[in-house]
Amino acid sequence: MQLSTKLSQQQLLSPQMQQGLQLLQAPMMELRQLVSQELIANPMLEEEFSNAPETSASSEKELSLYENPNDAEERRRYFLESQYSVETLAEALLTQSAGFPKKDQPLVECIIGNLDAAGYLGTSSAEMAASLGVSEQRVEETITKIQQLDPPGIAARDLKECLLLQLERKGKGNGLSSRMVKHYLPELGRHHYEEIATALRVSLEDVLQAHKIIAALEPHPGRAYGPVENQGVMSDVIVLADGNDLIVRPNEEALPRLRLNDHYKEFLSTEVENKELQNYLREKIRNGKQFLTHVEQRQKTLLAVAREIVKRQHAFFRIGELTPLTMAEVAETLDLHPTTIGRAIAGKYMETPRGLFPWKYFFTTGLQKEDGTSVSNDTVKQVLQQLIAQENKHHPLSDQEIVDQLEAQGILVARRTIANYREQLKILPKNLRRQQKTVGCRL
């Protein structure tokens, strides 16, 4: 055994960087909550009303540490009381993880900050390890600890892991229900119970009983805290049609305009005896400026991403046809990292002439056409539905016949892909779609 020293560089996220990432990832309703919390915590910030009369600070003789001028306080109270207060998923998990080692708190906050509204972890361990300068093993160990918190199934990477975590919590980690989730989840989704019973060499009754246990689990553990279900949906940007052009603008009515309190700024410019108060306010004004900068940067990033989406999906707004698009393509055009695009579109909604759409809707992979161009998966599904709707009900199309018809339209797709799309659209196979001809009888 020996002692040795080692010098190494580690990249850690500062609290300011963490705040910027949190604001970028937050949907509009969650952002309003964060603004509300910041208004409570920082007396230097206040909401700006464009039609509010200007007030003079010359008559102010003394300012208290905990009180704002009457007008500012009244405006602040109006905004705070108008907010729908509900504990977020992140707040609930941070409260439960308060007993974790202090050295793990930045990692805990990073993991919790990367959970989506459903409670799933959308960022890889390797990516978080690289961003925080820690080992991937340490990230995995911390994820495992967070997965022991409530609600059960939290911080899972996919549905299978989410269900298995809940079954483990119920003491059924080695039971039939866990084996079915682990090895036969697709078959469960298609209700192929007899196939599962045969494969596992158990009775059909046992499979059905295990299915009841699985059906009682929560596939979206963050549902109870989700801002979308509890508070409704609010768009971050609005798309307007102007002839053949599309105009993208931020939803300015959704987010209150903030500014630094002028009364306190004037107070800081004068000599006062209370140096502790003065230092406190100077720190708050630095924090306030940083918060305003992050909000402004969030808005600029979202607007740039939204404009790029609308530009590339122009055909959708004209004729309803999506173009294949990936986050990497948008990231390359805007000179941003793909993870930044992922955070920017998470939970965001866009109000358009065709309705309200989540930003993720516009990102879809595609299939190759004979001419070298691509067509989105959603477009192929639409064509599939049209073919099924127009088929002869007494002689329905087989999957291979659908493949042949799509190939005649220049769309190259495998038969198995058509079968998967058909199942996703809840379209029955050929033999179950066939209608029997009715035969008349003469008396």
pLDDT of residue 58: 35
Top-confidence residue, 18 or 161: 161
Q: How far apart are CA 188 and CA 203, in angstroms?
A: 15
Q: How far apart are CA 364 and CA 316, in angstroms?
A: 12
Report the pLDDT averaged over residues 253-266: 77
Identify the DSSP state of 238. Answer: E
Q: How far apart are CA 397 and CA 426, in angstroms?
A: 15
- 227 and 218 in contact (C-beta within 8 Å)? no
Task: Indicate the pairing of strand 349-352 with strand 237-242.
Answer: parallel
Q: Which band of pLDDT confidence, cut at 50, 70 and 90, is reported for residue 439?
A: very low
Which residues on adjacent β-strands are paired with residue 323? none
Whether the bond between 256 and the residue before it is cis, its omega within 30 degrees of 0, is no
- 48 and 258 in contact (C-beta within 8 Å)? yes
pLDDT of residue 300: 94
Q: How far apart are CA 11 and CA 216, in angstroms?
A: 43
Q: How far apart are CA 136 and CA 15, in angstroms?
A: 21
pLDDT of residue 443: 36
DSSP, collapsed to helix, strand or coil, labels residue 396 as coil
Q: Where are the domains of the chain?
A: 159-220, 234-255+290-362, 366-433
Top-confidence residue, 64 or 259: 259
Q: 172-207: per-residue pLDDT in tens?
A: 999 999 999 999 988 887 778 889 999 999 998 898
Q: How far apart are CA 118 and CA 154, in angstroms?
A: 9
Report whether pLDDT(156) > 80: yes
Average predicted confidence (pLDDT) for the chain? 79
Report whether pLDDT(370) > 60: no
Highest mean pLDDT among 114-128, 139-153, 240-254, 414-428: 139-153
Whether the bond between 151 and the residue before it is cis, its omega within 30 degrees of 0, is yes
pLDDT of residue 8: 55
Q: How far apart are CA 378 and CA 324, in angstroms?
A: 9
Q: 40-81: per-residue pLDDT in tens?
A: 778 788 877 655 444 433 333 333 333 444 544 554 554 444
- Picking from 241, 270, 240, 292, the residue whose alpha carbon sits closest to that of residue 47 is 292
**CB atoms closer than 10 angstroms to residue 281:** 23
Report the pLDDT averaged over residues 147-151: 92
Q: Which CATH number fits domain 366-433: 3.90.1170.50, 3.40.190.10, 1.10.1040.10, 1.10.10.60?
A: 1.10.10.60
